[in-house]
Amino acid sequence: MTEFSSDLGPPHIRALRLVNFRNYREAMAYFGPGLNIAVGENAQGKTNLLEAISFAISGSSTRTSTDSEVVLWNADFARVEGRVARPEGDERKIAVGYAPGQKKRIKVDDAPEKSLANYAAGGAGVRAITFFPDDLRIVKGAPSDRREFLDALLSALRPTYANTVGEYAKAVQQRNHLLRRIRDGYSSGKTLETWDRKVSDLGKIVLEGRERAMPHLDRHFALSMRDLYGPEKAAVTYSGTATPDDYSEALRTAQSADIERGTTSVGPHRDDLKLALGGVDLNVYGSQGQQRLATLGLKFAAREYARGEVGEDPILLMDDVMSELDERRREYLAEYFLDSSQAIVSTTNLEYFGAETLGRSRVLRISDGRITSGATAREDGGATGFRRGA
């Protein structure tokens, strides 16, 4: 491996190789700290590039739960390899590959990573906060969208939380199955005690994790919205069906009604986040513009919370974030991205960025699944260590 200076700054992704990923047959991209701008017309691969970076960093797509969708049409597999610069002065080599019908393969410095949860919680050496236009569903969509946002954030910080969320969902499914059997006369109500205890124990851990995070997210969300929107007070609060302390009792109280319905009515799987601006519920009454800014505000709050928890700044992957904003907000975002450890932002129009911003940024041009990078000769000259066909 090529030696690097020990002064590499905060963690950031230096290079990425894509093979059979979405519309990329094979491509290389090089990035620097600070702001990187991926520019190109629509449907050329800008969003796919950001997705590939997230895929390499977390081991999963942020746009789909079906891994086969990331595989290039008529290809047998998809693979993304990356190089991550670390503050310690070293460099981490990461690779995530997927072939339909096979188990996903994840490697860190050529060693297999067996746990996706561990890898997603910082195993790549860097974490990412993403924004895609579809993320507006976090604010305007169903409660499940907001729960998914919160659980994904906490899972990226603690693999034990990710495992608990998964086990809790399975336990609720088993309890629901048993509730329906009791309702239909195939099982006794006494058999519910075991699953009540399991659901309660796991649910308390999930609720405690969410409860710890909420004051921090609320504070950072209010600050972000003040900068993005204006002086109106913004807040994000947790709307729960039970607290960690009374969850066991809430389950017991709801037993009869749960048996009648055949479903578990209380617990973290039924909870919600409430977002308000000036006391107005953004989910119900927010305009499209307010909901878009609130989504950004949540993402920036997530970044600040993650930074406080792990002591490292996540990189920002922002798709088409500058469109639909006025000049003042674009200037604010440009400075925000320039001051980040690393931000990779896609756009169809470089005019969204001022001349001074462009002079301090790296521009990557995307066209038909090809990437032309503004990398220096030193970086293009083999420092990434990728091998063609590897």
Tens digits of residue pLDDT in 349-385: 999 999 999 999 999 999 999 999 764 333 433 444 5
Tens digits of residue pLDDT in 196-234: 999 999 999 999 999 999 999 999 999 999 999 999 999
Tens digits of residue pLDDT in 159-189: 999 999 999 999 999 999 999 999 999 998 8
Q: 10 versus 284: which is more confidently predicted?
A: 284
Predicted confidence band of residue 328 (pLDDT cuts 50, 70, 90): very high
CATH 1.20.1050.90 in the chain, residue ranges: 135-311
User: Looking at residue 10, what is its pLDDT?
Assistant: 87
Q: Are 271 and 143 in contact (CB under 8 A)?
A: yes
Predicted confidence band of residue 288 (pLDDT cuts 50, 70, 90): very high
Sign of CA dihedral 49, 55, 56, 57: positive
CATH classification of 135-311 is 1.20.1050.90, yes or no?
yes
Q: Which residues of 70-93 are buried (b: 16+ CB within 10 A; e: fewer)?
A: bbbeeeeebbbbbbbbbbeeebbb
CATH homologous superfamily for the domain 1-127+315-390: P-loop containing nucleotide triphosphate hydrolases (3.40.50.300)
Q: Where are the alpha helices (DSSP H) in the chain?
A: 46-58, 116-118, 137-140, 143-157, 159-183, 192-228, 247-253, 255-261, 282-285, 288-310, 327-338, 355-359, 377-378
User: Looking at residue 95, what is its pLDDT?
Assistant: 98
- Residue whose token pair is 């969509």: 141
How far, in Å, CA of 266 to CA of 255, rounded? 10
Tens digits of residue pLDDT in 2-17: 333 334 578 999 999 9
The CA dihedral of 70, 71, 73, 75, to the nearest 10 degrees, is 170
- Residue whose token pair is 């503004």: 374
Tokens of 219: 């504070």
From residue 130, how far is each of 37, 42, 53, 133, 150 by CA, in Å?
15, 19, 10, 10, 13
Cβ atoms within 10 Å of 269's Cβ, excluding its own: 20
Amino acid identity at 312: E
User: Looking at residue 323, what is its pLDDT?
Assistant: 93
Q: How confident is the model over 108-122, as a mean pLDDT?
A: 95
Tens digits of residue pLDDT in 59-84: 999 999 999 999 999 999 999 999 99
CATH 3.40.50.300 in the chain, residue ranges: 1-127+315-390
